Copies of this chain bind each other. A is one copy, B any other.
Amino acid sequence: MQDHFAEALTAEFGQDVLFGHDIPRRFYNDWAGLPPVAPRALVRPRTTKQVSAVMRICSEFRVPVTPQGGLTGLNGGARPIEGGVALSLDRMNEIEEIDTVMATMTLQAGVVLGVAQRAAEDAGLFLGLDLGARDSCMIGGNLSTNAGGNRVIRFGMAREHVLGIEVVLPDGTIVTSLNKMLKNNAGYDLKQFFIGSEGTLGIITRAVLRLQAKPTELASAFCGCPDFASLLSLLKNARQRMGSALTSFEVMWPSFYDFMTSGLPHLRRALNDPHGIYVLIETAGRDAAENRLLLEQVLSEALESGAVTDAVLPSSERETRDLWAVRDSVSEYGKLMGPLTAFDVGLPTSKAGKAVEQIEAAIRARWPDAIALSYGHIGDSNLHIVCNIPSAGDEQPHEAITKLVFGFVAEHGGTISAEHGIGLLKKPYLKLSRSPEELELMARIKRALDPDNILNTGKVLSI
């Protein structure tokens, strides 16, 4: 049986399929930090037809398949399983077309996000999707996880950038739905079923993305507010006055801001006095002066009403970079902290303040030496918390911390995953954010599309 399967794959792919020890170790894992797993075989198709052939063979032999892209996922969604096939889309990396009239890009799943961004810019347009892993992550992974990132408040999640997809079903059927039109109500919008389902229902092989006009002039400001309620009144007013010109509203609690600015010598405190909470605002406009003026108006109203206690508007690019350096210092935790337990939760905006207060207090009550830092894209209702217990060394109580944090998230009606998805790591906790009826409906859809449970088996759902 095992031989027949290997023979079938070899007959189809020749040297393009690898087995056992021939498989490079980088295909054993993604960025979730779980123990690596060696797959039985690795296939790296060059065409959709080849993806279909893999699925047909694996379906016949009932061998599970793990689709892989840039392997930058943080929850283990692309980690292969023992005895299964890893199917990497990395060789399907062609940008097939940029249509400057429709403002669309048609591309294969293995195109690296940064490459797609640069191609859009070369064509005088702009791809609104952006995330830290831009130079490693691939479009197929971005779409199958419905990636978020830095520009969600303005351009939305990955889903909102997609006009059409091509997908291969578990039985090998190719469904080509490469729609380029903004409006198409001819039957069910099939792409929506696959975006964000983390490769458990089908393998995205190609996509049509919406492009945008190139962004315009940016202005930033850094503010200190007395408390979370004041911050919310600032957000509300900024939204009403600025509309879609509000491109960032990045909040930092003192736990984060004080720790990072005192720990990293290259960071400058923009405001010397301590404040209850800090926020970095960015607006985009067609005219630099007019854009800055609007930001100044909103801030001067906020200073008058007391919503903001102090604010800085940078007067040079260098000063702007300095302000953003604090927010972007999240990649430097390694220099200051031991092993982390990190969270990407979502909370109804109005409840985020209370939730952070409760979570930070509960963590410190249980682990008195804990370092717990809170910050987030609060304009998108997305909160990040990172936690390290110095006294625990390499044996961080990940599970206990997770249960504590998710307990408060569930209590406030939040989500355990705002943008990173569920994969393997968050699967045990999915029931905290989803009702039994929702979970059963997901399982029903999974069973209908993948009756033999061979596609990304064991991820997202337990069925």
Interface code A367-397, partner B: CB below 8 Å = 1, 0 otherwise?
0000000000100111000000000000000
Q: Which residues of A139-169 have CB atoms within 8 Å of chain B's CB atoms? A: 145-146, 148, 152-153, 156-157, 159-160, 169
Contact B187 A461 (CB under 8 A): yes
Q: Which of B175, B192, B212, B444 contacts A435 (CB 8 A)?
A: B175
Q: Does any Cβ of B come within 8 Å of A4's Cβ? A: no
Interface size bracket, A side: 35 or more
Q: Does any Cβ of B come within 8 Å of A244's Cβ? A: yes
Contact A445 B442 (CB under 8 A): no
Quote the shortest CB–CB distance from A52 to chain B (angstroms).
11
Binding site for B on A (CB under 8 A): 99-103, 124-125, 145-146, 148, 152-153, 156-157, 159-160, 169, 173-177, 179-190, 192-193, 195-197, 212-216, 232, 235-236, 239-245, 285-287, 290, 294, 346-350, 377, 380-382, 414-422, 426, 430, 433-435, 437-442, 444-445, 447-449, 460-461
A160 to chain B: which residues have CB within 8 Å? Answer: 156, 160
How far is it, in angstroms, between the C-alpha of A442 and the C-alpha of B216 when the chains are bound?
Answer: 41
Q: Which of B99, B185, B192 contacts A193 (CB 8 A)?
A: B192
Q: What 10 A-B pairs have minimum CB-CB distances, sorted nearest first?
A: A448-B448, A213-B243, A192-B192, A183-B418, A186-B433, A181-B381, A181-B346, A184-B415, A182-B380, A186-B415
How far is it, in angstroms, between the C-alpha of A241 and the C-alpha of B125 when the chains are bound?
Answer: 10
Quote the shortest CB–CB distance from A428 to chain B (angstroms).
13
Quote the shortest CB–CB distance from A77 to chain B (angstroms).
11
Chain B residue with Cβ nearest A212: B243
Given A176-B435, A193-B193, A448-B447: A186 and B417 interface contact (C-beta under 8 Å): yes
Q: Which of B174, B381, B448 contacts A183 (CB 8 A)?
A: B381
Contact A422 B186 (CB under 8 A): yes
Contact B240 A125 (CB under 8 A): yes
A287 to chain B: which residues have CB within 8 Å? Answer: 290
Chain B residue with Cβ nearest A246: B213
Contact A213 B187 (CB under 8 A): no
Highest count of chain B CB atoms <10 Å: which of A152, A160, A236, A447: A236
How far is it, in angstroms, between the C-alpha of A173 and the C-alpha of B438 when the chains are bound?
Answer: 10
Contact B101 A235 (CB under 8 A): yes
Chain B residue with Cβ nearest A413: B180
Contact B213 A244 (CB under 8 A): yes
Given contacts A99-B348, A186-B416, A188-B460, 18 further A-B contacts (CB under 8 A): A101-B235, A101-B349, A102-B349, A156-B182, A157-B183, A180-B348, A181-B346, A181-B381, A181-B382, A184-B415, A184-B417, A185-B418, A185-B422, A187-B430, A187-B434, A187-B438, A187-B460, A286-B290
Given A100-B236, A101-B232, A177-B438: A152 and B213 interface contact (C-beta under 8 Å): no
Given A175-B437, A236-B101, A243-B216: A188 and B196 interface contact (C-beta under 8 Å): yes
Chain B residue with Cβ nearest A154: B244
Chain B residue with Cβ nearest A379: B182
Name 30 A/B residue pairs within 8 A (Cβ), A-sorted. Answer: A99-B350, A101-B232, A102-B348, A124-B240, A125-B240, A145-B185, A146-B189, A148-B185, A153-B182, A157-B182, A157-B183, A173-B440, A179-B415, A180-B348, A181-B414, A182-B380, A182-B381, A183-B419, A184-B346, A184-B433, A185-B421, A187-B430, A187-B439, A188-B442, A190-B442, A213-B239, A213-B241, A444-B448, A444-B449, A445-B449
Highest count of chain B CB atoms <10 Å: which of A244, A382, A420: A244
Chain B residue with Cβ nearest A103: B239
Q: Which of B189, B244, B426 contacts A244 (CB 8 A)?
A: B244
A102 to chain B: which residues have CB within 8 Å? Answer: 348-350, 381
How far is it, in angstroms, between the C-alpha of A135 and the C-alpha of B347 when the chains are bound?
Answer: 34
Quote the shortest CB–CB distance from A239 to chain B (angstroms).
6
A239 to chain B: which residues have CB within 8 Å? Answer: 103, 213
Chain B residue with Cβ nearest A242: B213
A426 to chain B: which residues have CB within 8 Å? Answer: 186
A125 to chain B: which residues have CB within 8 Å? Answer: 240
